């Protein structure tokens, strides 16, 4: 299969990355920047029809072969006329009616007007449109004015939206509704986009049981695979579900090698600590390249990052909220880079904290919060309750992360804080 471009020279073994496990924990921003800088974009491209473009990333610059609109047209239902004829006592002869898509072949002369509808091309000779609400129609069909427009009013000039030959978007553009609409408006029914990266998902741990199967004592249902799959799908990559793997090095090696042969990245959950049953790191180190970083964030701390051949590897913690937090803060920007677009920082707003938050300095904390409006209309936010990294249901109650800086301690009621709304960020 076609693969990614090699990593830049000098980072093939990632020797320029500090090992955050043995030393000081990396700040969140530093970890995000390092991964985004190291991960190589997918360069394979394909031509995709307009209806299948949502969520894809443009692979080339697009210029407009036409002007939009293609001709001066009316912004209102009304009457097109010559500005020289604008006077309170004038009466104009209506010589035609023009609808959108049906140009008038004649010319508007002195003391003449045409009935025109929104979107219809303005005929030769006319340079102003008066709204129909500001026109009085005489019994003989001539028109006068109840309010005079300014010369040039209510006309959308040719090329007002997009001039002929203008570059409308460049490579790396994420194609959403507006971008796809613009492509359609300039006549494109398809576009050249980057191939979707293939990202394998694997949950590790002997205690995991697929949803739908009964639990034996000490077992839990695997929620991380479903959560990661949904976040990756929302991001726009091709998801390859590897299922679950027990705490067995041989099984992990087989799954890792298989995924590396057909995928661009692997994202795992669990097994990245240093316990006797944590085999993800030793396996990755044996068959590929490994860096274990301590990230100065909560929830989430250890992150195994590396590569097997040319397949990137992201090993996340096992607790479900840690999975969501580390994915969105650290892994998602790297995958956006892999998709061919510039990583977009999460939307951050300022809000007034209600009730205070307990925190120790040393890690950036992403507390689950409930964001809303106070009585004065300004944004306020309060804790969504217990903040344990295993309380996944708290992500349903919350609608934002409250971001408390690394060096900050506890915050009092009324403090101003940064918040990251989940809408458009966590899905």
Q: Which residues make Cβ contacts (< 8 Å) with residue 258, sequence separation at least 6?
A: none
Distance from C-alpha of 7 to C-alpha of 350, rounded to nearest angstrom: 38
Report the candidate in 296, 304, 239, 242 with the shortest Cα–Cα distance to residue 271.
304
**Which pLDDT belongs to residue 8?**
36
Distance from C-alpha of 314 to C-alpha of 105, rounded to nearest angstrom: 65
**Which pLDDT belongs to residue 19?**
47
Segments in 247-405 forming alpha helices (H): 249-262, 280-287, 320-326, 332-339, 394-397
Q: Is the peptide bond before 395 cis (omega within 30 degrees of 0)?
A: no
**Which pLDDT belongs to residue 271?**
74
| Residue in the structure block whose two tokens are 């309010």 | 147
Q: Which residues of the chain have pLDDT under 50?
A: 1-22, 426-427
Distance from C-alpha of 40 to C-alpha of 18, rounded to nearest angstrom: 19
Whether 325 and 404 have beta carbons less than 8 Å apart is answered as no
Whether 394 and 382 have beta carbons less than 8 Å apart is answered as no
Distance from C-alpha of 73 to C-alpha of 279, rounded to nearest angstrom: 68
**Which pLDDT belongs to residue 13?**
40
**Which pLDDT belongs to residue 9?**
35
Distance from C-alpha of 208 to C-alpha of 84, rounded to nearest angstrom: 81
Structure tokens at 417: 């804080």
Phi first, then psi, for residue 253 (nearest 5°) are -60, -45
**Which pLDDT belongs to residue 14?**
45
Structure tokens at 5: 């471009």
Kindly list the distances between the CA atom of residue 16 and the CA atoms of 19, 21, 35, 37, 344, in Å, as whole numbers in the listed order.
9, 15, 12, 11, 24
Whether 194 and 236 have beta carbons less than 8 Å apart is answered as no
**Which pLDDT belongs to residue 17?**
42
The angle subtended at Cα 201 by Cα 199 and Cα 206, nearest 5°, is 160
Kindly list the distances between the CA atom of residue 102 and the CA atoms of 66, 69, 120, 126, 258, in Å, as whole numbers in the listed order.
19, 15, 7, 16, 61
Structure tokens at 170: 């460049």
């Amino acid at each position: 299969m076609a693969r990614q471009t090699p990593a830049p020279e000098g980072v093939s073994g990632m020797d320029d990355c500090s090992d955050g496990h043995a030393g000081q924990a990396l700040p969140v921003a530093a970890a995000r920047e390092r991964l985004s800088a190291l991960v190589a974009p997918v360069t394979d491209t394909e031509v995709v029809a307009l209806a299948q473009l949502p969520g894809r990333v443009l692979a080339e610059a697009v210029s407009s072969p036409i002007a939009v609109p293609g001709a001066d047209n009316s912004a209102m239902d009304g009457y097109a006329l010559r500005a020289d004829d604008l006077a309170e006592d004038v009466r104009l002869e209506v010589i035609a009616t023009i609808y959108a898509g049906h140009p008038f072949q004649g010319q508007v002369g002195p003391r003449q007007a045409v009935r025109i509808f929104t979107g219809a091309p303005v005929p030769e000779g006319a340079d102003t449109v008066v709204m129909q609400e500001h026109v009085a129609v005489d019994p003989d069909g001539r028109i006068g004015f109840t309010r005079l427009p300014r010369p040039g009013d209510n006309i959308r000039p040719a090329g007002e939206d997009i001039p002929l030959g203008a570059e409308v978007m460049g490579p790396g553009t994420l194609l959403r509704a507006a971008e796809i609409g613009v492509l359609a408006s300039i006549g494109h029914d398809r576009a050249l986009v980057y191939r979707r990266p293939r990202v394998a998902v694997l949950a590790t741990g002997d205690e995991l049981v697929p949803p739908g199967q009964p639990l034996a004592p000490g077992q839990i249902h695997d929620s991380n695979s479903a959560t990661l799959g949904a976040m990756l799908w929302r991001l726009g990559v091709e998801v390859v579900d590897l299922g679950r793997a027990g705490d067995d090095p041989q099984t992990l090696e087989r799954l890792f090698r298989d995924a590396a042969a057909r995928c661009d990245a692997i994202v795992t959950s669990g097994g990245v600590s240093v316990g006797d049953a944590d085999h993800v790191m030793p396996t990755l180190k044996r068959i590929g390249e490994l860096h274990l970083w301590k990230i100065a964030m909560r929830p989430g701390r250890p992150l195994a990052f590396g590569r097997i051949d040319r397949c990137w590897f992201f090993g996340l913690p096992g607790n479900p909220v840690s999975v969501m937090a580390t994915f969105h803060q650290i892994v998602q920007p790297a995958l956006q880079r892999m998709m061919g677009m510039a990583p977009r920082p999460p939307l951050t707003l300022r809000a007034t904290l209600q009730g205070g938050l307990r925190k120790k300095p040393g890690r950036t904390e992403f507390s689950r919060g409930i964001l809303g409006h106070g009585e004065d209309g300004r944004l306020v936010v309060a804790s969504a309750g217990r903040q344990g990294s295993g309380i996944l249901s708290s992500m349903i109650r919350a609608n934002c992360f409250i971001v408390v800086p690394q060096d900050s301690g506890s915050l009092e009621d009324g403090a101003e804080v940064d918040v990251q709304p989940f809408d458009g960020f966590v899905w």
